Amino acid sequence: MLSHTSGYEDYAPQDYLIPEWTKPTTPEAILDRWANRPLNFDPGTRWQSAIRTMFRSYEEFTHAVKLKNGKPTHYALGLQTGEMAGTPMRTHSGEVSGFLSMDSVFPGKNLGIAVLLNEDGVDLISAVMRETVSLLLQPPEVDEERQEAAVRKIVTDLRTGQIDPALFTGNANSYFIETTLSDYRTSLQSLG
């Protein structure tokens, strides 16, 4: 069942809160309602999200299931499997009305990323995950000497109670008022 090849209908196919879910119920009532429905397809012939249960081991949990015809589902017991930025990945996402989450793990890189968004009806979470993964796994080339020189100039300017407003955002510029610049000058001058 957890491989989503059992044929059971998805318990929560909607992207919004179902009014029925706000009413009191029992586990037995939920099982009676779902266990008596006909299967959507013969078990093992297709992949479709379905009711989840506990997994037996980490290996089962992370091993992608194949259909009877050998085609991959790219789905393990609760995890999507695949790769991003050329790196093997396991991911899981979830949602409730107005809120989405996506957690991706890159075992070979010892890296995990969680994206949490307030959204409804827009697939922004996948784009945010892809961009974050791209920046972390394939960072852009940077000129470290140039970056260090820029940081040193900012610190030197702060030591004299000044900044170059062109180097900062509007919000940062609103922070660097005369009182703030004076505090930086006093603090940094004593450090040399």
Q: Mind listing the pLDDT tens digit for each residue in 33-46?
A: 777 778 877 888 87
Residue of higher predicted confidence among 92 and 63: 92
Reading the block at residue 146, the tokens are 């140039």
In total, the chain counts a number of residues equal to 192
Query: Taken in order 107, 111, 117, 123, is the CA torsion positive or negative?
Result: negative
Which amino acid is residue 169, in one-letter code? T
Checking if the pLDDT of 70 tops 80, the result is yes
Q: Between the ranges 15-24, 139-148, 179-188, where is the mean pLDDT highest? A: 179-188
pLDDT of residue 54: 46
Closest among 119, 1, 86 to 52, alpha carbons compared:
1
User: Quick check: helix, strand or coil at residue 144?
Assistant: helix
Given a contact cutoff of 8 angstroms between Cβ atoms, the answer to whether 78 and 55 are in contact is yes
Nearest to 100 by CA among 18, 15, 22: 15
Query: Looking at residues 67-84, what average pLDDT do you find?
Result: 87
Cβ atoms of 97 and 17 within 8 Å: the answer is yes
Residue 81 CA to residue 3 CA, distance in Å, equals 12
| More confident call, 35 vs 99 | 99
The residue among 73, 72, 58, 107 whose CA lies nearest residue 87 is 107
pTM greater than 0.85: no
Mean pLDDT (the chain) is: 83
Residue 161 DSSP code: T
Beta strand 111-118 with 80-84 is: unpaired
pLDDT tier at 51, thresholds 50, 70, 90: very low
Tell me: pLDDT of 115 over 80: yes
At 151 the three-state DSSP class reads helix
Res 24 pLDDT > 60: yes
CA distance 71 to 74: 9
The pLDDT score that the predictor gives to residue 158 is 95
- 146 near 167, Cβ under 8 Å? no
Percent residues over pLDDT 70 in the chain: 85
- pLDDT for residue 116 is more than 80: yes
Strand, coil or helix: what is 46? coil
